[in-house]
Chain A
Amino acid sequence: MPLSGVRDVAPLLADAPEMADLKTEPAELRGAEILHVMYEIASGEMLDLLPKALHPTIPPTMTFWVMHCPESEVGPFTLAQVRIGSRAGVRPRGWPTAAYCDSARAGEWLSKRWGFPCREGQAKLRHLHDRVAATVQAGGSEILRVELVDPQPISGADVQYTASMHLARVPLADGVKPRLVQVDPEFTFHKAERGRPQLHGFDRAAWSAEGVNPVYAVSATYAVADVTLPRIRYVMHPDLPAMQGTETVG
């Protein structure tokens, strides 16, 4: 059977968000701009990156995900994430090592309702004619600079973004427990472009991504879409395979 992660999530729980309630109402983010950059990563430490519940993709991958939302119920914000490519059972999933949001209000909203591992930082996304550029600053230094170079239009129907699994402390019948919260947004695409990825700066420590070594550029896409952050439907025990550890919400 496929390889599984070996990461003990206990040390991560202190920084993991605590969700007040799993009965989250959906929220729409209209006109969101998304930069999604995928790299293959070195396989040496791939199993150390993932919780036991998740399998690494074959080959191991990571994505840089930066989303600028001009409007939401908590105002505009830009969210940046680093995700490790994985599978929960047979389902494609991203495992975020960390996220930065430029709005404290939005960061709290995303953390409490969907378990995004948000920290405060300045994330920027710029769409230019020759490139789409994203930068993230935190603690006074730049911790990410990534670009899509030479954008070419493609159909939004060709774009597929995977759902993510967020480690959070969630209220269950027998108390607050650590779980991986499945967040599978819906996308209605208005525009999509594809180009070459270029990574100019990546502070692994700032992203809790020590051991993540991007070695081979795969693809970069930029999209404008209406994004619906969903009702939470499933959570997973972080140490159990999906077949045994998945719980339905509500």
Chain B
Amino acid sequence: MKFGIFYEISVPRPWENGIEKTVYDRCLEQLRLADELGFDQVWAVEHHFLEEYSHCSAPEIFLTACAMSTKKIRVGHGIAVCVPQFNHPVRLAERAAVLDIVSNGRLEFGTGRSATWTELGGFQASPDDTKKTWDEFTRVIPKMWTQERFGYEGRAFSMPERAVLPKPVQKPHPPMWVAVTSPGTELDAADRGMGSLGLTFGGFAEQERKVNEYRRRIAVCEPVGAFVNNQVNTVNFLFCHEDLEEGVKTGRRLSGTFQYMAAQLLAAREAYPAASYPSLGLLPALRQEASGPGDPSGAPEGLAIGNPDRIADQIRKWESVGVDRINFLLNCLETVPQEQVLASMRLFASEVMPQFDPDCPAAQARRGQGAAAGVR
């Protein structure tokens, strides 16, 4: 099991007095700490126009800052929106390659297509087309990375032969992922040999069923890239506190704020009925899970909130249903003070992470202390 952090970068109103810079600075402070503590990856979404909910419209720049100020943590560029009105596929390939170079081969490349009318309408993109363009983009981008020259005649775009430059450091290319919010997209990921980057939480039973089907399908997949990335990644909230009650209370405030903000957006399906958006995406799942009745502690099933024992117990359950990685949302609308976010990360890294990752810094430090005690 590996752990990461996941950024929407939500910014509360009013957007004055430098609040956006403050939030970005806090995120960078968190990810520097995450790198020291042994978190494996940091992801940053691509969203546009999502007032307060996400001010992360240029993730590749944010992740460049991340790469420049960290040493080990992998940088997840995702979700890169594979819709031509948002991004030309050449630009996606180029920016990702540069990010892989400046991070010295630490890029994870996540793909998606946007789930809100707020964004699709803003770029005048048709919800009918996004599945098709996503499919087309994910087939061509690995070729742009691996072929010296690339030319193409396709449905969403065409181009004469050109050298798409630079090429990524990782060979044959960085791992590719698919953002999974709509039901069945995890199967799209499997059939194309891509990692499943789950953005809805789901309960353990539902997740186990999906993981099993994903593993079955990916075993016989036809990969879009040069290799199969057979991994299941999920997203979660993190608030870890010595006191269970305090951890659950603050964690529920965090998850509740997030789902409240997500619900204000106009889902693609709500605005524009289309078969390509069979669910409301993030919204109903978050709503249900973040406000569910929960276990005796009051925390909904699966959420990584509470004290270290409860969080470790939840993660063991995620592990048992086949999840490989968990990415944590640390804050929303700055509802948790920065000092508490950092303390939560430190407590998680010292008390929970070693139970799952024997190579994390806290586990290594303990082994070092034990060895030193043995010598004495």
Q: Which residues of A contact B (CB under 8 A)?
A: 1-3, 38, 40, 55, 57-59, 61, 85, 87, 89-92, 154-155, 157-160, 162, 192, 194, 216, 218-219, 221
Contacts and interface: CB of A to CB of B under 8 A. Distances in A.
Given A1-B333, A59-B118, A160 B266 contact: no
B259 interface: yes
Contacts of A154: 273-275
B301 interface: no
Contact of A158 (B117, B261, B274): B274
Given A3-B13, A85-B266, A218-B121, 7 more contacts: A57-B264, A59-B117, A154-B274, A157-B278, A159-B273, A160-B273, A216-B121
Contacts of B13: 1, 3
A115 B180 CA distance: 40
Given A192-B273, A216-B121, A219-B272, A55 B264 contact: yes
A62 B164 CA distance: 44
A92 B50 CA distance: 17
A160 B266 CA distance: 12
Interface string B263-297: 11110011111110110100100010000000000
Closest 5 CB pairs of A and B: A90-B263, A158-B273, A219-B272, A2-B264, A159-B273
Interface of B: 12-13, 49-53, 117-118, 121-122, 257, 259-261, 263-266, 269-275, 277-278, 280, 283, 287, 333
Given A2-B52, A2-B260, A59 B273 contact: no
Contact of B271 (A38, A89, A157): A38
A87 B273 contact: no
Contacts of A1: 12-13, 52, 257, 260-261, 333
Given A59-B121, A218-B117, A89 B260 contact: yes
A219 B271 contact: yes
Contacts of A219: 271-273
Greatest chain B CB density within 10 A among A2, A157, A160, A218 is at A2
B300 to A, nearest CB: 15
Given A58-B264, A90-B260, A40 B12 contact: no
A136 to B, nearest CB: 23
A160 B50 CA distance: 22
B276 to A, nearest CB: 9
A192 B273 CA distance: 10
B264 A87 contact: yes
Contacts of B52: 1-2
A92 B270 contact: yes
25 contacts: A1-B12, A1-B261, A2-B51, A2-B260, A2-B261, A57-B265, A58-B49, A58-B51, A59-B49, A59-B118, A61-B266, A61-B271, A85-B266, A87-B263, A90-B260, A90-B263, A92-B270, A154-B274, A154-B275, A157-B278, A158-B269, A160-B273, A192-B273, A218-B121, A219-B273
A1 B335 CA distance: 10
Counting chain A CB atoms within 10 Å of each CB, which of B261, B266, B271, B273 scores highest?
Answer: B273
A131 B178 CA distance: 39
A157 B183 CA distance: 14
Contacts of A158: 269, 273-275, 277-278
Contacts of A61: 266, 271
Nearest to B335: A1
Contacts of B261: 1-2
A160 B270 contact: yes
Nearest to A162: B270
Nearest to B286: A90
A85 B270 CA distance: 11
A41 to B, nearest CB: 12
A97 to B, nearest CB: 19
B12 A57 contact: no
Contacts of B273: 154, 158-160, 192, 194, 219, 221
A90 B265 CA distance: 10
B272 A218 contact: yes
B282 to A, nearest CB: 12
B266 A59 contact: yes
A89 B13 CA distance: 18
A217 B118 CA distance: 13
A109 B272 CA distance: 32
Nearest to B52: A2
A56 B234 CA distance: 31
Nearest to B280: A160
A58 B261 CA distance: 10
A90 B270 CA distance: 14
Contacts of B280: 160
A58 B52 CA distance: 10
A217 to B, nearest CB: 10
